[in-house]
Structure 1
Amino acid sequence: MAVFVALGAFLMTLAGGWTAQRVTDRRHLVLGLAGGLMLGVVGLDLLPEALRAADTEVFGVPAALLLFVAGFLVAHLVERLLAGRRAAHGAEEHVHRAPEVGLTAAAAMVGHSAMDGLAIGAAFHVGGGMGLAVAVAVIAHDFADGFNTFTLTTVYGNERRKAIGMLVADAVAPVVGAALAVFLTIPEKVLGGYLGLFGGALLYLAAAEILPEAHHEHPARSTLLCTIAGAAFIWLVVGLAG
């Protein structure tokens, strides 16, 4: 049952990626919307869940927040190291972007989607009602996941073929995760720590890369409105799922 329901996440992820592909003539609006979606996912979905799951403190600070900061710094470090390596070899790159960063970020989205599938499977172990509730929440925000996976891959200069490959992997991941839930059980504290780390990395990409690029060539009011709309959409999804 969990795998069948996870097919809804598969279709919604593909729909999000398809939408990102179809509006390439309004690239600044796509990036603005992607930045808002990422901001909303981090602030309204991932971080609250991480704080709830990983409720221990380390030297007076919640462990989830420490990992959140660590994720932000790791993403910054990786991006700088890759950009520096390409510059040292004389490679040309747009605003110092390395394609490897886009692929790494997309791979992290795939991992997150697999965790969503595990959550669906685990919830169905508790009961059918709980499983359907979790599935609705996952399916609702998987549109944003597909949109962001395709956008993150392409904005760093990767060719369309690779972006579609990462999108398909992201769509399949919840189904695989739901199937693995039959055999695996992830401790809640480990899951919370992962969400904090992933949230920090995602926030870095949104704030330091995606949004500045969105306003670089088109500092229009419409771009800002798309960012606000993206964050508001995630708020709506979280509210309806709750």
Structure 2
Amino acid sequence: MAVLVALGAFLMTLAGGWTAGRVTDRRHLVLGLAGGLMLGVVGLDLLPEALEAADTEVFAVPAALLLFVAGFLFAHTVERLLAGRSAAHGADEHGHRTPEVGLTAAGAMVLHSAMDGVAIGAAFQVGGGMGAAVAVAVIAHDFADGFNTFTLTTLYGNARRRAVAMLVADAAAPVVGAAAASFVTVPEPVLGGYLGFFGGALLYLAAAEILPEAHHAHPARSTLLCTVAGAGFIWLVVGLAE
């Protein structure tokens, strides 16, 4: 049953990526919306879940928040190292947007989607009602996941075929995760720590890369409105899922 429900997440993810790919003539609006979606996912979905799952403290600070900061710093460090390597090889002024960063970020989205599938499978083991509630929440925000996966991959200079490949992997991940949940149980503190770390990395990409790029050539009100709308959409999804 969990695998069949996860197929809904598969289709919703593909729909999000397809939408991102179809509006290339309004790239600044796509990036503005993607930044808002990522901000909403991190602040309203991932971080609260991380704090709930990994509720231990390390030196008076929740472990999930420490890992959130670690994820932010990790993404910053990787991006800077890759930028330095590109500069050393004579990259142009936009060389810091190296394809590896986009692929790494998209890969993290795939892992996150796989964890969503595991959550669906685990919830159905508890009961049908719990499984249905979790499935609705996952399917609702998988549109944003697909949208962000395609946008992140192409933003850093990857070819469209790579973006499509990462999108398909992201769409299939919940199905694989739901199937794996029948055999593997992820400890809740480990899952919470991962969500915190991933949220920090995702926030860095949104704040330091995607949103500045969205407003670089088109500092329009419409771009800002798309960002606000993206965050508001995630708030709506989270509210309806409760």
**Residue 28 of structure 1 corresponds to which residue in structure 2?**
28
Q: Could you tell me how far 1:93 is from its partner in structure 2? A: 5.7
Q: Could you tell me how far 1:86 is from its partner in structure 2? A: 1.2
Q: Could you tell me how far 1:95 is from its partner in structure 2? A: 5.8
| Contact 2:83–2:95 (8 Å) recurs in 1 | no
The reply to whether residue 128 of structure 1 matches residue 128 of structure 2 is yes
Mapped to 2, the partners of 1:189 and 1:200 lie a distance apart of 17
Deviations 1:60-90 (A, max 9, x none): 1000000000000000000000111111011
- Pairwise mapping of residues 157-172 of structure 1 onto structure 2 (< 5 A)? 157-172=157-172
| Contact 2:82–2:96 (8 Å) recurs in 1 | no
Question: How has the CA–CA distance of structure 1 residues 162 and 93 changed in structure 2, closer, same or farther, with 3 Å as cutoff?
Answer: farther
| Contact 2:53–2:188 (8 Å) recurs in 1 | yes
**Residue 107 of structure 2 corresponds to which residue in structure 1?**
107
Q: Could you tell me how far 1:97 is from its partner in structure 2? A: 1.0
Structure 2 residue identity aligned to 1:177: G
Higher mean alpha-carbon deviation, 83-92 vs 156-165, is at: 83-92
**Residue 79 of structure 1 corresponds to which residue in structure 2?**
79
Mapped to 1, the partners of 2:95 and 2:14 lie a distance apart of 29
Q: Could you tell me how far 1:129 is from its partner in structure 2? A: 0.7
Mapped to 2, the partners of 1:172 and 1:196 lie a distance apart of 23
**Residue 241 of structure 1 corresponds to which residue in structure 2?**
241
- Pairwise mapping of residues 125-204 of structure 1 onto structure 2 (< 5 A)? 125-204=125-204
**Residue 206 of structure 1 corresponds to which residue in structure 2?**
206
The reply to whether residue 51 of structure 1 matches residue 58 of structure 2 is no
**Residue 226 of structure 2 corresponds to which residue in structure 1?**
226
Mapped to 2, the partners of 1:21 and 1:105 lie a distance apart of 17
Mapped to 2, the partners of 1:59 and 1:172 lie a distance apart of 39
Q: How many residues align?
A: 242
Deviations 1:144-201 (A, max 9, x none): 0000000000000101010000000000000000000000000000000000000000
**Residue 118 of structure 2 corresponds to which residue in structure 1?**
118
Report SS of the residue matched to 1:34.
helix
* Percent of matched pairs sharing the same residue: 87
Mapped to 2, the partners of 1:181 and 1:145 lie a distance apart of 21
The TM-score normalised by the length of structure 2 is 0.99
Mapped to 2, the partners of 1:149 and 1:94 lie a distance apart of 21
Structure 2 residue identity aligned to 1:27: R
Mapped to 2, the partners of 1:18 and 1:189 lie a distance apart of 34
**Residue 16 of structure 2 corresponds to which residue in structure 1?**
16
**Residue 6 of structure 1 corresponds to which residue in structure 2?**
6
Question: How has the CA–CA distance of structure 1 residues 103 and 130 changed in structure 2, closer, same or farther, with 3 Å as cutoff?
Answer: same
Mapped to 2, the partners of 1:143 and 1:179 lie a distance apart of 21
The gaps in structure 1 that reach 5 residues or longer are none
Q: Could you tell me how far 1:96 is from its partner in structure 2? A: 1.9
Q: CA RMSD in A?
A: 0.7
